[in-house]
Amino acid sequence: MRAPLSAPCEAPPHPRAGTLGSGYLGITLAGSPVWRIFLVGGEPLIWPPILDIIEAIKNNGVEVALCTNGIRLNQPDITAWIIRLGVDAVSVSLDSTDPAANDHYRPSRHDAHGWCDVVSGIRCLLAGRASGRPPRVGVYTVITRRNLSQIHEMGVFAVELGCDYYVPQPVSLAADHPLHAELSLTAADHAAVASALDRLYSAGLPLALPDRSYTRRFLASITADTGRVPGCFGGRELFFIEPDGSVWDCPSSLKIAATSPGQRRNIRGRTAAGLFATGPRCTDCSLFSHDCVNMWPP
Ligand SMILES: C[S@@+](CC[C@H](N)C(=O)[O-])C[C@H]1O[C@@H](n2cnc3c(N)ncnc32)[C@H](O)[C@@H]1O
């Protein structure tokens, strides 16, 4: 099971000191089928309790994958804790080998940080971990009409940095988003995206890429708003949890909209074993959406 837990976070980092407690926050993962949690955000590394939560999850024998903008990886105390707590994977968002292009579409608040900080953050983490030890470090790149060449180039760059995995992901923007027309991939981009994905997968780069079936989902998401996924893992091996505790089968906005009030669930007052040990479910999904592609197993 892969259950991304997202949380909005705006506060400065929590200063770490003293002994780490166990059982913090009453996490109920032990004895549940949950084996990996993706901590997504917002930006998890500026959320004060994040290190305590990671510790509590790890103490329950569950893997942690942290998805971050990479800026806080420049803080030696944060990076040291990530390594010491045994975080299993750190995925860093970076959209281009061109600093200006990345920072144009991914501006930081007050323009205080950008591409250089993300790259140095990745380097700090890679330099800090012991050889062959966790975390695995990867790059996630959002692909738009404006950066198709980056599908391959960012893979090469991730290798140069020394990363372990790389995931190009299609941009997902609502139809009324101001950048939708400028950035969203369309059927007109299909051939170019297919060719760029082929180039990436044929390059034999020494790093992990998502299973090749991911490229079919990537391409499907840009030619149709929805589709059917027989035997989808959403709601069986993966759940999507929002900051208010809502538990969904997957992040598909179509599936979420189609979930009746009676089917809605929340983590509040529940145990992980009770919530996720629900037995066989119908997972033939006809509500595939571009929101789903980012969750495809790498
Ligand atoms: C929402 S972010 C949150 C985690 C972290 N703050 C970060 O910047 O990576 C999680 C993932 O979603 C990706 N993402 C953000 N906006 C997106 C969009 N409109 N379409 C597709 N992926 C997006 C990010 O690049 C990142 O890989």
- The list of the chain residues with pLDDT below 50 reads 1-24
Q: Tell me, what's the pLDDT at 286?
A: 79
Compute the distance between CA of residue 286 and CA of residue 284 in angstroms, rounded to an integer. 7
**DSSP track, 98-124:** SHHHHHHHSPPGGG---HHHHHHHHHH
Task: Examine residue 205 and state whether it is found in any structural domain, yes or no.
Answer: no
The DSSP bridge partners found for residue 66 are: 39, 90
Greatest pairwise CA separation for the chain in angstroms? 57
Domain membership of residue 67 (yes or no) is no
Residue 250, class by beta-carbon neighbours within 10 Å (0-12 exposed, 13-18 middle, 19+ buried)? buried
Tally the domains of the chain. 1
Q: What is the rounded distance in angstroms from the CA atom of residue 293 to the CA atom of residue 289?
A: 8
pLDDT score, position 220: 86
Q: What would you report as the CA-atom Rg of the chain, rounded to the nearest whole angstrom? A: 19
Cβ-based neighbours of 146, under 8 Å, separated by 6 or more? 101, 105, 182, 183
Confirm or reject: Cβ of 32 under 6 Å from ligand 1: no
Q: Is 164 inside any structural domain?
A: no
Q: Which atom number of ligand 1 is nearest to the Cα of residue 44?
A: 6
Q: Note the pLDDT of residue 15.
A: 42
Q: What atom of ligand 1 comes closest to residue 67's alpha carbon?
A: 4
Residue 244 lies in a domain: yes
Residue 262 lies in a domain: yes
In a domain, 282, yes or no: yes
Binding site membership of 138 for ligand 1 (Cβ less than 6 Å): no
Residue 161 C-alpha from the chain's centroid: 19
Distances (CA, A) of 207 to 120, 140, 154, 186, 268: 19, 13, 12, 28, 39
Q: Examine residue 279 and state whether it is found in any structural domain, yes or no.
A: yes
The atom of ligand 1 lying closest to the CA of 140 is 27
Q: Is the CB of 292 within 6 Å of ligand 1?
A: no
Amino acid making up residue 141: T
- Position 19 scores a pLDDT of 35
The verdict on the CB of residue 143 being under 6 Å from ligand 1 is no
Q: How far is the CA of 293 from the centre of ligand 1 (A)?
A: 12
Helix (H, G, I), strand (E, B) or coil at 244: coil
* Residue 145 resides in a domain: no
Q: Which domain does 286 fall in, by range?
A: 224-298
Residue for token digits 């981009």? Answer: 189
